[in-house]
Structure 1
Amino acid sequence: MPSLSQSLALGYVIVLQVLYLSFGTGGGIIIDLVLAAFIAVPVTAPIWLIASAVSPRISEAVLPGRPIEYYMTYKHPANFKYRGKRKIPMATFCQTYLDGDVKMDGDTLAILEKRHDWASFRLTFGFIYFALFKLIPKVVKDLYFHDDGYIHPAHERLDLGILRGFLGPRMMYTSGLVRDTNQQESLEEPENNKLGVICEKIHLNPYDRVLSIGYGWEAFANYARRIFLHVPFTGLNQTGEYTNIPHIRGGYKKIVCTHLAEHKGPGNFMALHMGPCEYADFFQHIHGLLADNGIFFLEVSGANESWQYEDLVWRLLMAKYVCLDAVPYASLASLIQRLDSAGLRVNRMENVGRHYSETVRKWYGNFVRNREALVAMYGSKIYRTFEFFLAYMVIIFGQGSANTYQIVVTKNPSSVNRTESELEVEESYRDLCE
């Protein structure tokens, strides 16, 4: 990642130029802001380009050292300048691959695992243009005017069929919990492990009124009713519908949210992620729905505050080709701060990113097995897009560039004595670890 000295140097360059021009023109704060807006782009862009090109790899893994032609075949070789040991920027490769101008010679996931042998993670002019003039304005706009009707243009044709292509019949868009990576488990086994852990973490009992949010809530309801036959459930697939959840007297004793998702248009599942800009309102609403002595189980993906250029490139690729709202993942610190601001108290947090990586690996296997049907229904470009990003998600979450957190939360009223319940949580947690 850029060092503190690099970040400070960039800031000093911009500030000094703004001050010089401001004093020269006799302008005030408005002039300063206007000058900063015009100076920041031409100063920042080349610094980003140079820094991303010269930053060394952090990993010390030994690379095979094979030429780029070993991993891929160009459709029109004469049009490409990346040959031999000259590495192709990942942004350029992604666009070329999705357009069908290059073919990976082997399994996509296997080749991406060797990506440092043939790809670089320097930023390109196209990436910087996208970040400065499309992504950042969209994020800033969402802070004030969230566009619920926005659909990524690449996915206007999509429906839940593409989700079924990799999630399977249970449609659980959430991390499983893998007990043994040395055994070949079906997708349903880690899913069942996860559902059992949720029931234990929320101390489910037959008298609870449960609200379940996220794709696969039906599977959770069916699993819970195998333990307690008549547990009353209210469920919805997407958090974008949370304002329509009926309030009940006394509140829900247990709320489970395994996926922050929004509905963006009829029959369309994109964007698949609620952006951090909406977290505050969502958590405030959850606070109003939850009983004073209730438990809220939240699973959410988050980014690291420290990063390297591959992490940045990955997030920009996701924003450009898959889901604009999925990119500004909140860090764990900002996520907990939002929960705290909503009057919610974090009792337990676990990072299950490695489990999520193994879950996505199983999704990727399902997707590849359904290739013919998916290509026939959605076309080869849509298939390549999801194949590429599912494979890359296995890597990103596996190496810790992004994380998935399971957080057990309660309300924080002074009128509730939590000594007994927190001791039960501690005992349950020890049992899970044994």
Structure 2
Amino acid sequence: MEWLLAKVIARVVTRGSLTITFASGRRVTFGDGTGTPLAFRFTSPAWQRHIVFDPELKFGEAYMNGGLVIERGDIAEILAVMMAQVGLQVPSASARLMMKLRFLFRRLAQFNPPGKAKDNVAHHYDLDGRLYSLFLDADRQYSCAYFEHPGQSLDDAQLAKKRHIAAKLQFNRADLTALDIGCGWGGMGLYLAENAGARVTGVTLSEEQLGVARARAEEKGLSERADFRLQDYRDAPGPFDRIVSVGMFEHVGIGHYDEYFTKVAQLLADDGVALIHSIGRSEGPGITNPWIAKYIFPGGYIPALSEVLPAIERAGLFVTDIEILRLHYAETLKAWRERFLAHREEVERLYDARFVRMFEFYLAASEMAFRHQGMMVFQVQLAKREGVVPLTRTYIPQAEAALMRMEKNNRPGLRLAGE
């Protein structure tokens, strides 16, 4: 089996310099010798055999369980070399069969009725809250940031993301009502309440996130303007003048797209505006990476726009704007990974070394998927009538400038110690 794995890797890794020590002790260097030399070793023939048959699942499992040990470089660098190869091929006939089977049964894997959806959310978002405070920005934005210029800090880029979305939602009247579907720890909803003057209802299926969002609203004195609920979006009341969803649509599941957008249409006022911010794939329909589905986001799926737009059309909604954010999530994930690794000892005290390797692999693999394998983020603006949104996009920077002024007015002043 070792010879077969070596043959597969030689076919995949044609650039770079990657040295692998197999369980037998044999060392082989793959690639053309360019770039930084990297190296890892397998600790047993069993892991080599597993990876031949199901590389998408077993490579990550080998790293998190100690079956693959890095000797030079880190897992992000190794994944960058392996995932950036031109003409990447599926390693073996068995692996191709696994992919076909997963595609065939993907709707079953993404079946997310309300009860199961809550369990899937809890799997990832109800982890110890201290974990997320170690690598997210101060506002706990767990979605793609919007980098306005190279070198912008993560906190400023996440603030820019909220401002950019709020500008597209066009809060041009006082006391507009807004629904935040998948409100997370409340950052987006609190931003709209504080800076756009909205009356916000935020819904989440995470009890951990709900508690934090409510506490933050009370701390900011915004509890009357920002109401956070443990509720499935399918049970939310309406109508709302504005609807926003950031980083939640990836959890809907392909079999529920018609249900989702039909509900958005029902909840949206006739002159309302909605904005859906989601990860997407630029290379057409696919499957959820099995390692991600098993360990990180069960029930999740990253859609292609070709899968999303027909459901929007069937719901009777108009697409009034689409923006593709290229590489913004790669930079976001890089910042998260660097922050996470800077606190790896603290994470290990919260969980264990296996969890640290699992989460590091998740952040690194996700980053490289955005850098090298066609993942992106789309923001789709929706309305029920043609004339609701201005005819040109000049209103967006104008609204961003006004929101920036509001941010400065709402920023708490500095106090001396003891005041």
Q: Same fold (TM over 0.5)?
A: yes
User: What stretches of structure 1 of length at least 5 have no aligned partner?
Assistant: 1-48, 262-271, 413-417
Match in the other structure for 2:343? 370
User: Counterpart amino acid of 2:351?
Assistant: Y
> 2:163 pairs with 196, 203, 208, which one?
196
Shift of 1:294: 0.3
**CA distance 1:387–1:432, shift in 2 (3 Å):** farther
Match in the other structure for 2:148? 179
* 1: CA distance, partners of 2:39 / 2:18: 11
**CA distance 1:197–1:287, shift in 2 (3 Å):** same
Match in the other structure for 1:319? 293
User: Counterpart amino acid of 1:279?
Assistant: Y
Q: Tell me if the contact between 1:64 and 1:117 (Cα under 8 Å) persists in the aligned partners.
A: no
1:30-179 matches, cutoff 5 A: 63-69=15-21, 71-74=38-41, 76=43, 91-105=57-71, 106-115=73-82, 121-123=90-92, 125=94, 128-129=97-98, 132=101, 136-137=104-105, 139-140=107-108, 148=116, 155=123, 159-161=127-129, 162-179=131-148
Please tell me whether residue 252 in structure 1 is matched to residue 252 in structure 2: no
Match in the other structure for 2:323? 350
> 1:242 pairs with 228, 233, 239, which one?
233
Shift of 1:403: 2.0
TM-score (norm 2): 0.70
Please tell me whether residue 298 in structure 1 is matched to residue 276 in structure 2: yes
- Between the two proteins, the alignment pairs up a number of residues equal to 349
Matched residues, percent identical?
A: 21
Match in the other structure for 2:260? 282
**CA distance 1:150–1:407, shift in 2 (3 Å):** closer
* 2: CA distance, partners of 1:301 / 1:217: 19
Q: Tell me if the contact between 1:65 and 1:117 (Cα under 8 Å) persists in the aligned partners.
A: no
**CA distance 1:219–1:405, shift in 2 (3 Å):** same
Please tell me whether residue 227 in structure 1 is matched to residue 179 in structure 2: no
* 2: CA distance, partners of 1:343 / 1:74: 55
Tell me, what secondary structure is at the counterpart of 1:343?
A: coil
* 2: CA distance, partners of 1:331 / 1:130: 17
* 1: CA distance, partners of 2:159 / 2:112: 40
Match in the other structure for 1:208? 176
- Describe the superposition over 1:157-216 as per-residue Cα deviations: whole angstroms up to 9, x where unpaired: 9625344443344222221111222x2x33211111111111211111323111122344
1:259-270 matches, cutoff 5 A: 259-260=247-248
Tell me, what secondary structure is at the counterpart of 1:193?
A: helix
Match in the other structure for 1:406? 379
> 1:385 pairs with 332, 339, 358, which one?
358
Name whichever structure is richer in strand by fraction.
2
**CA distance 1:122–1:194, shift in 2 (3 Å):** same
* 2: CA distance, partners of 1:55 / 1:62: 7
Please tell me whether residue 422 in structure 1 is matched to residue 390 in structure 2: yes
- Describe the superposition over 1:277-318 as per-residue Cα deviations: whole angstroms up to 9, x where unpaired: 2221121111111100100010112223458xxx87x72332
Match in the other structure for 2:216? none
User: What stretches of structure 2 of length at least 5 have no aligned partner?
Assistant: 22-36, 206-229, 402-419
Match in the other structure for 2:311? 338
TM-score (norm 1): 0.67
* 2: CA distance, partners of 1:428 / 1:258: 21
User: Counterpart amino acid of 2:180?
Assistant: S
User: What CA RMSD, in Å, does the superposition of the two structures yield over aligned residues?
Assistant: 4.1
Match in the other structure for 1:9? none
Q: Which has the larger radius of gyration?
A: 1
Shift of 1:78: 7.3
Shift of 1:145: 7.2
- Describe the superposition over 1:109-132 as per-residue Cα deviations: whole angstroms up to 9, x where unpaired: 223222269997514737845863
Of 292-301 and 98-107, deviating more is 98-107
Q: Tell me if the contact between 2:134 and 2:343 (Cα under 8 Å) persists in the aligned partners.
A: yes
* 1: CA distance, partners of 2:187 / 2:364: 25
* 2: CA distance, partners of 1:156 / 1:198: 25
* 2: CA distance, partners of 1:292 / 1:138: 35
